[in-house]
Amino acid sequence: MSNKQYLVVRLNQKPIGTLVQTATGKKEFFYSKDALHPISLSMPLCNEVYKDIVCESFFGGYLPEHPEVKMIIGKKYGISPNNTFSMLKAIGGDCAGALSFHDPDDVIDESLTFEITGKEIDAHELERMIDQLKLNPLFLGINNLRLSLAGFQDKAAVCLWDNKVIIPSPGIPTTHILKPTHPVLNDLAENEYLIMRIAKQIGINVPEVILRNDFKKPFLLVTRYDRVIEEGRISRVHQEDFCQALAISGRYKYQNEGGPGFNQCYELINKLYLPAVEKLKFTELVVFNVLIGNMDAHGKNFSILHKPDHVCLTPFYDLVSTKFYENLSQKMAMKIGKTYKTEELTRIQWEKFSKEIQYSFSSLCKLIEKTAEKISLFLDKKDDVVHAGPLVDYLRNHIDKQIKLLYQQTRW
């Protein structure tokens, strides 16, 4: 008798392959014979079986990263928090992108679009649910919610319809990521809200964000770019992050731990549709992250959208001035030139970076200057800068420092 366990992997509700857990706990994946689209750039369509290392890098990338969150989920469902197969079986009904995970005997609605239905949550109940996120991550179990989100920060996923927060009915995709304010990092929700608004204002492709103040503690609602709403019905769009696409475990998402660096990122971008256009977009983001002090721009914070006829970059997300908080890492997630420190980002380091990514150095300098000017102009519009306070002053000072460093010839 076989001790293997099986999960049907579905893309937009249709079976596309099978995830297997062997008797030794290893994972395997193979595509269905009629599969038409790969689920990852790291797992092209083929007749072979993908083994444990690739499977863990890709499928593990759908799960929460915080050990305490995984521990609580494990206790809730009576499973090991480190068993990716069991975790996906428990909570993998609605993940980032269009994949979902199901028992072979499950009866699944294979519709491509769904009417948004569920349980409306009033402000009082939502406040209680957010306060209990530590004990009940992702709002799991509420209205039979079976959902997974990657990342380290506390968050949940909900539907927003007619300005009302809804926990969707089982099987219905969510429309927004809910991010509460942080108990230690002051004004984190306001920080992300401001930075995302700046990014949008200066032409960077980001999702819409809403800062809600339904009760004492504000929270952020980020529109899911991997969902499409048309005529009141919602559908999923497949996506994967850079670590998944490069077959790198999210446990090693930082470059100094073995995660991707910019060389690997640009090599990946060269595989996308209209790579020259995507390369420019990504370079604009790199510059923006440096100027606003986003030290946490790692391989899981960039993603790829799998559209029906091509693959492209997703809108950019999780843009926060992390350097503003002294108790967070002051090192960049990926090095530029030979440094991980913005304090060492002189002209020499930017020039090394431009050669590595094969981007005109003079164009890069102009991009840095222009981006700094656009951000500063936004910050000067006091009516547009809300809930910011010290962050605005910090951003102005940080930008000035980076522009001065751009003209330093110091070698590090």
Q: Which residues are part of the catalytic machinery?
A: 296
SS3 223: strand
Nearest to 222 by CA among 233, 207, 206: 207
DSSP for 4-50, written as a single string: -EEEEEEETTEEEEEEEE-TTS-EEEEE-TT--S-SBTTB-S-SSPB
Q: For residues 25 and 27, give the distance between their C-alpha atoms in angstroms, rounded to a whole number.
A: 7
- As a whole number of angstroms, the longest Cα–Cα distance in the chain is 70
Tokens of 366: 């102009």
Give the residue among 164, 146, 136 at the shortest CA–CA distance from 7.
Answer: 146
Q: Are 41 and 75 in contact (CB under 8 A)?
A: no
The DSSP line for 208-220 is: -EEEE-SSSS-EE
Angstrom distance (rounded) from CA 72 to CA 354? 45
Q: Which has the closest alpha carbon to 261: 150, 364, 362, 353?
A: 353
- Structure-block tokens of residue 63: 């799960």
- Give dist(CA 116, CA 174) in Å, integer: 9
Backbone φ and ψ of 116, nearest 5°: -75, 110
Q: Could you report how far apart the first and last alpha carbons of the chain are, in Å?
A: 62
Q: What's the Rg (C-alpha) of the chain?
A: 22
> Please, what sign has the CA dihedral across residues 156, 208, 181, 184?
positive
Please list, in sequence order, all residues whose beta carbon lies within 8 angstroms of the beta carbon of residue 83, skipping any fewer than 6 positions away: 25
CA dist 290 and 398 (Å) reads: 9
